[in-house]
């Protein structure tokens, strides 16, 4: 290998003596009382299953070696038939197998099944983590035996982690060192088995690294993201950034979902009576931001709102990864999907603005997406939507302003805060119960900016009561937002208003609740001075009506007004 070229991940770069380290790792794990009850997925040399896997690999290796030899022979004078292409195809076949290309997996399983039939291995005892995998495979692959599925995952798949297939509702799995954690039942659960050694994990890392031509994982490039063919995203983080190598697998379980689905009795993310409220906010193209902690179903709600948009509008979907799968699940809609990286997000946004689109959906606002979100609100027809990680909705303008100022030095924080409050119309707050199994819409509120006194406030239209597990409502749409909604879809704007009015009469939000002012104007010295001057002006106007001048009692009133408003101190402290 040319030393001038960047090296791919190589185990020797991290472990000069892998056998010695593996022995130390195994010994330390075995002696750790905290790991009692967890067993290694040891390769028992005496087991029939292990012998079958080893024998099949030897046969495959011989075929590969034969292809390599034929490739060398091709380069000699008078060489035999071509074998180089066969060798390359063999390597490509294995690379495609680990990312789950269905045709490749089926082809390899067909070969393994032939071997199993020839050797009579149907009754081989399988490790616990491989038992029952066939039931969760693709339909065309269920015709193969349990032994075939187990051998495939042992030789070409993710080995012990194959058990994750038996948790179809799990959205995440993680390998930390040699241990396996699967998100199940609302929390991460450690599996009672793990990889036999770090070398097995290293093989998975190398296999995943080969999936990208420009992938480099070494001392200086310690992270990598790979998208599997089956839809999962894999994130690698290796030493020295972490004590133990970490491989994170994440599924995207969001299929086609609508507002009605959110109100289904099984989910109850949204109460049935509020369906028209959420549908109306989407159809009238309110600029909406869905906020909440991670894992609260924000992306699902965002996709449900997208489902309600009229098909004739052109929407741009901007994501770092193909998560929403909008065109797949909504083929009837006119959607342009743009996948971009963080470093090139501003270029992607410039392209979107030239696509002649009506609205933009950004999968998630983290940092660089903040400016793109504001441009989508300002340059396109209303209808922006995105998600944001926070549990304090009233602080969204200030959080966005900090992101915007960090991206572009020289911006004024106050101006960017005002910009965000003016652009975002609706905040949807999501949460989950203590078991982390049920997601819910906790609140729907309008975000307002008052140009006269500079106040930023949130006004709840809908609120969840944790004591009664019910929702309360209030008709508190501002005239400005209602007018903008009518400009896009007057029928649904009126329907939304009527729904809020009806629900507010049946189950109202308590008086004095539901409004949060983030920056009360009463706290600003200049505002207090203005209030005092207004009161003083009224007194002076009354005094000027007296032809004889200002009587002593009115002079007393003027003096009292000045003292009451604290004008003397304010004038001294004002800039």
**Over the stretch 288-329, which tens digit does the pLDDT of each residue have?**
999 999 888 899 999 999 999 999 999 999 988 777 888 889
Please give the Cα distance from 171 to 175 (Å, whole number): 14
387, containing H or E segment: strand 385-389
148 falls in which pLDDT band (50, 70, 90)? Answer: very high
Helix, strand or coil, per DSSP, at residue 323: coil
Question: What per-residue string of b and e applies to 108-138 under the rule 16 or more CB within 10 Å gives b?
Answer: bbebbbebbeeeebeebebbebbeebbeebe
Please give the Cα distance from 437 to 114 (Å, whole number): 43
Question: Which sequence spans correspond to the domains of the chain?
Answer: 46-72+82-157, 160-251, 259-523
**Over the stretch 428-470, which tens digit does the pLDDT of each residue have?**
999 988 777 789 999 999 999 998 888 899 999 999 998 888 9
Q: What is the pTM of this model?
A: 0.70
For 160-251, CATH gives: 3.30.450.90
Q: What is the DSSP string of 138-180?
A: -GGGTTS-HHHHHHHHHHTS-GGGGGGGG-TT--EEEEETTEE
Residue 408, both tokens: 């572009």
For 259-523, CATH gives: 3.40.50.300
Long-range contacts of 99-107 (CB under 8 A, 24+ apart): 99/211, 99/226, 99/228, 99/229, 99/230, 100/228, 100/229, 100/230, 101/229, 102/138, 102/140, 102/141, 102/229, 105/138, 105/141, 105/152, 106/140, 106/141
Would you state the pLDDT for residue 226? 83
Which ranges of 489-551 would DSSP assign to H, the alpha helix? Answer: 490-506, 525-544
Please give the Cα distance from 318 to 326 (Å, whole number): 11
Q: What is the DSSP string of 452-481?
A: TT--EEEEEEEEEETTTTEEEE-----HHH
Please give the Cα distance from 271 to 262 (Å, whole number): 8
Instruction: State the average pLDDT over residues 369-378.
Output: 93
Residue 281 has pLDDT above 90, yes or no: yes
* Of 178, 179, 184, 180, residue with least CA distance to 166: 184
């Amino acid at each position: 290998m040319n030393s001038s070229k960047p090296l791919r991940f190589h185990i020797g770069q991290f472990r000069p003596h892998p056998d010695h380290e593996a022995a130390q790792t195994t010994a330390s794990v075995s002696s750790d009382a905290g790991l009692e009850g967890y067993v290694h997925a040891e390769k028992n040399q005496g087991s029939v299953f292990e012998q079958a896997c080893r024998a099949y690999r030897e046969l495959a290796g011989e075929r590969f070696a034969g292809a390599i030899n034929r490739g060398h022979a091709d380069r000699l004078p008078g060489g035999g038939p071509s074998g180089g292409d066969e060798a390359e195809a063999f390597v490509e076949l294995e690379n495609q197998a680990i990312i789950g290309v269905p045709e490749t997996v089926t082809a390899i399983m067909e070969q393994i099944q032939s071997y199993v039939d020839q050797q009579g291995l149907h009754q081989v005892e399988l490790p616990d983590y491989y038992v029952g995998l066939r039931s969760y495979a693709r339909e065309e692959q269920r015709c193969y035996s349990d032994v075939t599925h187990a051998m495939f995952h042992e030789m070409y798949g993710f080995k012990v982690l194959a058990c994750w297939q038996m948790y179809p509702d799990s959205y995440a799995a993680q390998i930390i060192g040699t241990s396996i954690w699967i998100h199940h039942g609302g929390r991460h659960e450690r599996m009672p088995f793990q990889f036999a050694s770090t070398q097995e994990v290293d093989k998975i890392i190398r296999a995943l690294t080969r999936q990208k031509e420009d992938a480099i994982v070494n001392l200086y490039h310690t992270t990598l993201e790979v998208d599997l063919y089956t839809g999962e995203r894999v994130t690698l983080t290796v030493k020295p950034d972490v004590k133990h190598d970490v491989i994170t697998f994440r599924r995207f379980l969001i299929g086609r979902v609508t507002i009605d689905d959110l109100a289904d009795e099984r989910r109850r993310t949204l109460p049935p009576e509020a369906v028209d409220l959420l549908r109306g906010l989407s159809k009238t193209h309110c600029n909406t931001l869905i906020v909440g902690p991670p894992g609260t179903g924000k992306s699902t709600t965002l996709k449900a709102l997208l489902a309600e948009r009229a098909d004739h509008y052109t929407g741009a979907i901007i994501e770092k990864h193909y998560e929403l799968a909008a065109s797949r699940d909504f083929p009837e809609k006119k959607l342009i999907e743009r996948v971009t990286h963080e470093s090139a997000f501003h270029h992607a946004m410039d392209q979107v603005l030239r696509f002649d689109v009506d609205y933009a959906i950004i999968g998630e606002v983290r940092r660089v997406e903040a400016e793109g979100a504001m441009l989508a609100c300002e340059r396109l027809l209303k209808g922006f939507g995105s998600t944001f990680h926070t549990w304090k909705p009233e602080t969204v303008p200030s959080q966005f302003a900090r992101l915007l100022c960090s991206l572009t030095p020289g911006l004024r924080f106050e101006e960017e805060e005002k910009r965000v409050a003016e652009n975002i119309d609706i905040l949807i707050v999501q949460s989950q119960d203590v078991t982390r199994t049920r997601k819910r819409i906790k609140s729907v509120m309008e975000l307002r900016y008052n140009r006269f006194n500079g106040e930023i406030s949130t006004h709840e239209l809908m609120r969840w009561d944790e004591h009664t597990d019910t929702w309360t409502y209030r008709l508190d749409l501002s005239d400005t937002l209602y007018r903008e909604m009518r400009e896009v879809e007057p029928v649904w704007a009126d329907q939304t208003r009527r729904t809020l009015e009806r629900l507010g009469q049946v189950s109202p939000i308590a008086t004095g609740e539901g409004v949060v002012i983030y920056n009360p104007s009463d706290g600003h010295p200049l505002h207090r001075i203005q209030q005092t001057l207004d009161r003083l002006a009224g007194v002076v106007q009354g005094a000027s009506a007296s032809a004889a001048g200002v009587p002593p009692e009115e002079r007393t009133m003027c003096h009292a007004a000045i003292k009451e408003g604290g004008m003397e101190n304010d004038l001294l402290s004002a800039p």
